[in-house]
Structure 1
Amino acid sequence: MIEAAMIWNEPNNKSHWDPEIDPEWSLFAQMAILAADAIAAKNPELTKVLGGISPIDPFFISRMKNYGVLDHLDAVALHGFPLDWNLWQIHDWPEKINEIRAVTDLPIWVSEVGVSTFGAEEVQLWGLQRTAELLKGKVERCQWYSLYDLPRSWEATTRHREAEGSSYYRHYYMGILREDGTPKPALEEFAKHTPDFGLVQWFHFEDPRLDEAAAWMRRLGVKSVRTGLSWADRFRPNALDWFDRQMQALEDFEVTVTFCFTPEHRGIAPHHTSAPLVPEEFAGFCEEMVERYAPRRDSGYVSRVAKSAARLLGLESRASLGAG
């Protein structure tokens, strides 16, 4: 059910990793290496990706390279929102990508790019068109954020919330579908760019939009989907039941799962952005999820599949001869 595993989300963004606890990102590097090796041990064919960085910072990638993290990974990922949060223009995308290519030979994914409709829905439409012009065929993977607007009754996963002013409220308008499920003008435009563009949709625990989201993705011709499995949620009652539902609903797609969010009781500080007390525990969570949703297909499995296919082909051939 999983074809790629992403280790954390925006590790160089204080909304997702606390730099006061880990100012040099050495704890993050240790955790990422342990997680990558645990994933590889369970399924060496699974693509391992460094969590999408935001801001796009070649010095952070170089830091991860110097720590040896990139030696354990297959790709790096970038997140960019120049019309909402970044301090650069949308036309600078090629320059931003080249800055990262200059410091690593790994494939580059843009695993989150999007435009909010906070100011006007027409801005999102234009931004999608321009983003497609700038990114299609220029990076190894591109995934649009997101399918749904965030419901206003929910909290956005960011550090300072309403103190961020309009920056905070833009989180609620990133979808190509409104909160009530009705399409925005950019929806039809997005469908023109699938399957080249994938979709990002974070699902909250027991999210009621899950099945409808999967139906929309199929309708839009989406091939690749990025979502998350939360280490913090693993400690909720019935967590595995929810994870199973989520992965089953997405089984028609090539799924990149982001493993992230520290449980409060397992962090150095009681917050989901904290480095964990025991980094091996995060690696264990990644290992458990890969074992459950992307187990290695051993030679015995391949042999059994081949034999079953041969038997089916033999039956079909005999049926065809009989019919003739």
Structure 2
Amino acid sequence: MIEAVKFWNEPNNKSHWDLELDPEWSAFARMVIEASAAVRAENPSLVQVLGGMSPIDAAFMQRLARFGVLDGLDVVAVHGFPLDWNHWPIDEWPQRIAEIESVTALPVWVTEVGASSFGAEEVQVFGLQRSAALLIGRVPRLHWYSLYDLPRAWPATTRHREAEGSSYYRHFHMGLLREDGTPKQACRIFHEYAPAFGICQWFHFEDHRLDDAVRWLRRLGVRHLRTGLSWADSCRPGAQQWFDRQMQALDEFELTLTFCFTPEHRGVAAHHTSPPLVTSEYADFCARMVRRYAPGASTAQALATPRPRACEAGPSCA
């Protein structure tokens, strides 16, 4: 079920990692190195991916390489939205990938690419068609962001309505489906690019869209799905039951599973973008999730052996 695990999301984007608290990314580097080792100990064969860069930045990649972050990983990932936020034209996609390939021998995946329908649905159709032409066959994994529009009642997390203006509202129009679940024009042609094109869809805690999403993913011919399990959500009451339900519902897809978001009470600052107070707690969370949902052969055999029930809660949620 789980093809790969991904450590964090857009670590060079201030909306996902607090660069004021960790301006050199040294805490981030320690956190990923520890998490990588912990996951490798649970399942040596599981593909490990560095959280997708946004913006795509070769200098950032070189910085992490100097810290030794890439030594234990199998893949690096990039995110790009040239029709909405990036300051480069869509036809530069191959060049942007080549920039990263020039500074690392690891394969490059595109784990988020998309276009909003904020201005017109026809723009999103063009974005899908042109992205497919440029990227299918160019990278081993490709995920369209996203299946659903972000519900307007939910905030575009860590984004700033006043500072971003119209760019803020583009976050709410990235889906192939509208908030009410009805298809847009791009949805009607997406099957032409699946399964080469996967989808990235984040599910919120106890997300009411989960079962409907599975039906749509089947209908669209999607095989590869990227989603996440939130470290912050793991501290909520009922978290394990929700994680189990989510993973069971998505069992038929080949998942890239992202581990991210710091629990507020375990961060240097009380925010999910904060470096953790204790970096090993993130590693512990990653290891627990892999042990439960993607165990290695020896762990799976041990889990199959009857034993007294033990608490799965980690020290970060004590």
Scaled to the shorter chain, the TM-score interval is over 0.9
Q: Distance in 1 between matches of 2:300 and 2:117?
A: 51
* Corresponding residue number in structure 1 for 2:205: 205
Q: Distance in 2 between matches of 1:157 and 1:129?
A: 28
* Corresponding residue number in structure 1 for 2:104: 104
Opposite residue 60 of structure 2, the aligned amino acid is F
Q: Are 1:13 and 2:4 matched, yes or no?
A: no
Q: Percent identity?
A: 66
- 2:159·2:168 contact (CA, 8 Å) conserved in 1? no
Question: 2:297 is paired with a residue of what secondary structure?
Answer: coil
Judged with a 3 Å threshold, the aligned counterparts in structure 2 of structure 1 residues 297 and 161 are, in CA distance, closer, same or farther, namely farther
* Corresponding residue number in structure 2 for 1:122: 122
Consecutive unaligned residues of structure 1, counting only runs of 5 or more, are 305-324
Judged with a 3 Å threshold, the aligned counterparts in structure 2 of structure 1 residues 119 and 295 are, in CA distance, closer, same or farther, namely same
Q: Which string of whole-angstrom CA distances, capped at 9 and with x for unpartnered residues, describes residues 81-120 of structure 1?
A: 0000001000110110110010001010000000000100
Q: Distance in 2 between matches of 1:162 and 1:280?
A: 36
Question: 1:202 is paired with a residue of what secondary structure?
Answer: coil
- 1:225·1:255 contact (CA, 8 Å) conserved in 2? yes
Opposite residue 259 of structure 2, the aligned amino acid is F
Structure 1: 4+ residue segments shifted above 4 A: none
Opposite residue 116 of structure 1, the aligned amino acid is S
- 2:51·2:76 contact (CA, 8 Å) conserved in 1? yes
Once the two structures are superposed, the pairs formed by residues 1-324 of structure 1 within 5 Å of their partners are 1-298=1-298
TM-score (norm 2): 0.93
Q: Which string of whole-angstrom CA distances, capped at 9 and with x for unpartnered residues, describes residues 168-209 of structure 1?
A: 110000000111111100012211001101001000000000
- 1:231·1:259 contact (CA, 8 Å) conserved in 2? yes
- CA drift at 1:300: 8.8
Q: Distance in 2 between matches of 1:299 and 1:292?
A: 9
Judged with a 3 Å threshold, the aligned counterparts in structure 2 of structure 1 residues 239 and 194 are, in CA distance, closer, same or farther, namely same
Opposite residue 64 of structure 2, the aligned amino acid is M
Q: Distance in 2 between matches of 1:289 and 1:84?
A: 34
Opposite residue 34 of structure 2, the aligned amino acid is L
- CA drift at 1:163: 2.8
Judged with a 3 Å threshold, the aligned counterparts in structure 2 of structure 1 residues 263 and 176 are, in CA distance, closer, same or farther, namely same
- CA drift at 1:214: 0.8
- CA drift at 1:167: 1.2
Q: Distance in 2 between matches of 1:160 and 1:269?
A: 19
Q: Which string of whole-angstrom CA distances, capped at 9 and with x for unpartnered residues, describes residues 47-102 of structure 1?
A: 00000000000001111111111011000000000000001000110110110010
- 1:14·1:159 contact (CA, 8 Å) conserved in 2? no
Opposite residue 134 of structure 1, the aligned amino acid is L
Q: Distance in 1 between matches of 2:189 and 2:6?
A: 28
Q: Distance in 2 between matches of 1:161 and 1:286?
A: 32
Q: Distance in 2 between matches of 1:82 and 1:168?
A: 15
Q: Distance in 2 between matches of 1:10 and 1:107?
A: 17
Question: 1:140 is paired with a residue of what secondary structure?
Answer: coil
* Corresponding residue number in structure 1 for 2:309: none
- 1:261·1:272 contact (CA, 8 Å) conserved in 2? yes
Q: Distance in 1 between matches of 2:204 and 2:166?
A: 23
Larger deviation, residues 127-136 vs 159-168: 159-168
Question: 1:27 is paired with a residue of what secondary structure?
Answer: helix
Q: Which string of whole-angstrom CA distances, capped at 9 and with x for unpartnered residues, describes residues 237-291 of structure 1?
A: 0000000011011000001110000011000011100000000000000000000
